[in-house]
Amino acid sequence: MVTLQIIPYTEIEGLSSLGRIRKLLNIAKQDKIVLLQGRLAKDEEAELIKVTMEEINKEFSGIELAVIDPSQSSSLSGFDKFKSDFVSLLLGNRVGFTIIGPANVVKSIKKNPNKIELFTGEKGRRAKKN
Amino acid sequence: MISTIKDWFSALFGSFLSSKGDLKLGLYGPPNSGKTTLANKICKDWLGQDMGSVSNIAHETREIQIKEQISIKSKDNKKELFFNLVDTPGIATKIDYEDFLKFGMSERNAKKRAKEATKGVIDAIKWLDEMDAVLVVLDSTQDPYSQVNITIIGNLAARNIPVLIVANKCDLKKANMKKVQAAFPQYEVMGISAKYGRNVKNLYEQLFKLVR
């Protein structure tokens, strides 16, 4: 069974960068898929990859990550682009959403500007040690 | 007196020349996109030697590799560019040693490779701040919308580091240059085949624009 945990942006808003990363990664390490309202800052995304690499071991092989950021959509132009940029300016990183899945559950995430497809595999391929 | 003037000149122009030579051009991208193949091509063309080993197995480059004092010339021979080439390990969000077993690697070697690869990714991210310009090397046969690509490019943009996207492996049938361009419309995208040298001369010309 795949478990999806939805995190509102308010839950990470007051945390430090490392606190945000820790919170999201800890949930993913419990074999849950995280659906975060909003997104991390670009340097936090890089830090998330760095921390993930530091924690890879026999039980945890990493994450699959995807961010939907409507303001970055290449299909927008003219007034729609202006509207999207304006909303982004007002709401900052609350716009869009982020998916973080443990690599042993989420095999791959295919993304194009308009949709995300999540391919899950057999969970817990490797037995967890107590 | 003459020696003092000589010292002053050497201090002034020596530091100028060395700062030119210290310009760091990074090669970033996901694993197996052909970063080291491109690094080898650049080094072969301008230094007559390779930079690192290449392999079909991902994460062949697991340490930052630097080739110093590369000098390239423009087609018309009027311009010259000095830089240190920094080849980085491929950035990934997951590394599973079992993936290496499929290539016939022993479990011990696969685990060792995975461990080194994770360290390589960390180092590559740490080195982002050191770069003066970056070629983001993507495999043009693969999906360009992967989050690793977007995160790398987003981080370089946030640091105001000039970026040129290199869509490598354009010699392959499955290569889709238009898709790469559509994914990153605000960037210059250059289609090349590092393996066969296709369009690499034009890439050299683009480097002059990138670091001007």
What number of H helices and E strands is found in chain B? Answer: 7, 6
User: Is residue A44 domain-resident?
Assistant: yes
Contact flag A50-B121 (C-beta cutoff 8 Å): yes
The mean pLDDT value for B200-205 works out to 96
* Residue-wise DSSP of B26-92: EEE-STTSSHHHHHHHHHHHHHSS--S---SSS----S-EEEEEEEEE-TTS--EEEEEEEE-PPP-
| Least confident among B8-17, B33-42, B193-202 | B8-17
Residue A89 lies in a domain: yes
Predicted-complex ipTM score: 0.85
Q: Is residue A126 part of a domain?
A: no
CA distance A109 to A117: 6
Instruction: Indicate the burial class of A117 (C-beta count within 10 angstroms; 0-12, 13-18, 19 or more).
Output: exposed
CB B28 within 8 A of CB B136: yes
How far does the CA of residue A13 sit from the closest CA of chain B (Å)? 20
How much is the CA Rg of chain B, to the nearest whole Å? 19
Share of chain B above pLDDT 70, in %: 90
Residue B211: its pLDDT value, please?
Answer: 87
Rounded mean pLDDT, A79-99: 73
Whether A125 maps to a domain, the answer reads no
Residues of chain A contacting B154 with CB distance shorter than 8 Å? 42, 45
Fold of B22-210: Rossmann fold (3.40.50)
Q: What is the pLDDT of residue A79?
A: 67
* Percent above pLDDT 90 for chain B: 80
> Could you read off the pLDDT of A4-15 as tens digits, one per residue?
999 999 999 999
B5-14, B84-93, B137-146, B191-200: least confidently modelled range: B5-14
The CATH number assigned to the domain holding A7 equals 3.30.950
Residues of A within 8 A of B145 (CB-CB) are 110-113
CA-CA distance, B48 to B61, in Å (whole number)? 20
The boundaries of the domain holding residue A71 are 3-120
Q: How far is CA B33 from the centre of its chain?
A: 10
The total number of structural domains that make up chain A? 1
pLDDT at A2: 86
Distances (CA, A) of A59 to A2, A4, A35, B199: 17, 20, 22, 44
Q: Which of A86-90, B69-73, B142-146 has the lowest mean pLDDT?
A: A86-90
Provide mean pLDDT across the span B49-72. 91
Q: Where are the domains of chain B?
A: 22-210
Chain B residues at the A interface, defined by Cβ less than 8 Å, are 91-96, 114, 118-119, 121-122, 125-126, 128, 143, 145-148, 150-151, 154-155, 157-158, 182-183, 185
